[in-house]
Amino acid sequence: MSIGRRKQITLAELDRIRRRGTGLMRYFDLMRVSVHEVIRKRRRYLGVFGSIALGMAGFIVVITMGNDLKKNFNNDLDLLGGATIIKCMFEYSPTEPQEWFHEQTMTAMARLPGVQGVTRIANSSSIVSWHDRSFNCVLVATEPKYWTLLSFHPAYGRLYDDRDVTDRSRVCVLGRDLAREVFGSEQASLGKTLIISDNLYTVLGVLGGVRSADRSMTVYIPLPTAQARVEHLTPPDTAYVRCRTWDDVAPVAEALPGLVRANQTDRGLHVIVSWEPLAQVKRIYWWVEIFIYASVAATMLLGGFGIWNIMMSTVTSRTREIGLKKAMGALDTDILYQFLFEALCVTLSSSVVGVVIGRLGIEYLSHLLGSRPPEGLFVTCLLIGLAFAAFLGVTAGLYPSIRASRMQVVDAMRYE
């Protein structure tokens, strides 16, 4: 009796072990079998693997580097009309003293939230003399930061810098058309000495990056030098304010009049914003952004559809195998989890490859742009991407897995 009972208990325990498995070991074995199946049929999954990996890499790069790319895009917006540059100027009145931007006003403007930099200029009509010839031109006295704020660069030679301003050097930079008119070619002007307002100035370079014709017929000299040597020079009544992004333009433009009023007289002040180019650029960037996100989403969704299609085909081709496993004692949940793990294996492994590609893309763009995004943002994108990949694997593989688990043993064994 005791022997029979002991045998009966042992059979019951074996049945429970067969039905419940061995906990984590059971799931580990199912995962191992699933990974083995994916590796064995890896060629079938290459297209899906590549789609999800590229989609994941694109998602990580776009989200992580989005702010830096937007900032870099804003730095070049003057090519589309100076959309992030605000021009402030005091209108000339013959009956009132000419107002100009004071140092404390410029300092306060530079401290405004959203402002990348400020600079001021003074204008005057002038005559440039070379040998026995004279040429009428516009003289603009600027600070060195004028070049960077308006994205100017030297076409030839160099532009004067802070050292030239500190030394009050008698140097100048010519517009391209003026250099050609005076010297016959732009390169021939370098190192030559011009007479400007009865003073000798050495030509350091020729200005590049100019998009308006009036600036091409201009001679530029350092502001302190001009204030000390040029007669009838108007005070610096024009200032340029460059915003960090186009989102900062409206609040900065709204705050400027009150800020000027708090530091000096604002009589005749005009704040000029390129609203139409700004709106045009924002529309362009919006469509580009929509296209990028739509491309990433489409790539991921196509990968998910590919997994669903391949899993359905896999279930059909492995019908007899499913029937054989069920005949040997496999539970419906075992079949369900095996196929579900296969789908997860494809999405998660391709996502890991996509994360690696995305990280390489971030490193390259960071080097290219000269800025580095917060590391926490990359980790956040990584977690979101892996969570979405898991969701995609479960969603795409759930129906084929359920279909496989509900097969009848007899019908599966008879399947040809």
What separation in angstroms does the CA of 320 have from each of 162, 213, 304? 81, 79, 26
Taking phi over 0 as left and psi of -120 to 50 as alpha, with beta for the rest, 232 belongs to left
Structure tokens, 135 = 């040429």
Structure tokens, 315 = 């279930």
Give the side-chain half-sphere CA count within 13 A for 36: 7
The C-alpha atoms of residue 118 and residue 353 are separated, in whole angstroms, by 45
The C-alpha atoms of residue 356 and residue 76 are separated, in whole angstroms, by 30
The C-alpha atoms of residue 123 and residue 87 are separated, in whole angstroms, by 14
The C-alpha atoms of residue 201 and residue 222 are separated, in whole angstroms, by 11
Sequence-ordered list of residues with C-beta below 8 angstroms from that of 243, at least 6 positions apart, any chain: 74, 84, 85, 86, 114, 115, 116, 249, 252
The C-alpha atoms of residue 87 and residue 118 are separated, in whole angstroms, by 10
Verdict on whether the full-model pTM lies above 0.75: no
Strands 193-196 and 199-208: antiparallel
The C-alpha atoms of residue 179 and residue 217 are separated, in whole angstroms, by 8
Question: Is the distance from CB of 265 to CB of 274 less than 8 angstroms?
Answer: no
| pLDDT tens-digit profile, the chain (416 residues) | 444 444 444 444 445 545 554 444 566 776 777 777 777 777 777 777 777 787 788 777 777 766 666 655 555 544 444 678 899 999 877 777 788 899 999 999 999 998 989 999 998 888 888 888 888 888 999 999 998 888 888 889 999 999 988 888 899 999 888 899 898 888 888 999 999 888 899 999 998 876 555 577 889 999 988 888 887 788 898 999 998 888 888 999 999 999 999 999 888 899 988 888 778 777 877 877 787 777 777 777 777 777 788 777 777 777 777 777 777 777 777 778 887 888 888 888 888 888 888 888 888 877 766 667 777 878 888 888 888 888 888 887 888 888 777 777 766 666 55
The C-alpha atoms of residue 124 and residue 229 are separated, in whole angstroms, by 13
Measured N-to-C along each axis, helices 42-75 and 24-40 cross at an angle, to the nearest 10 degrees, of 90
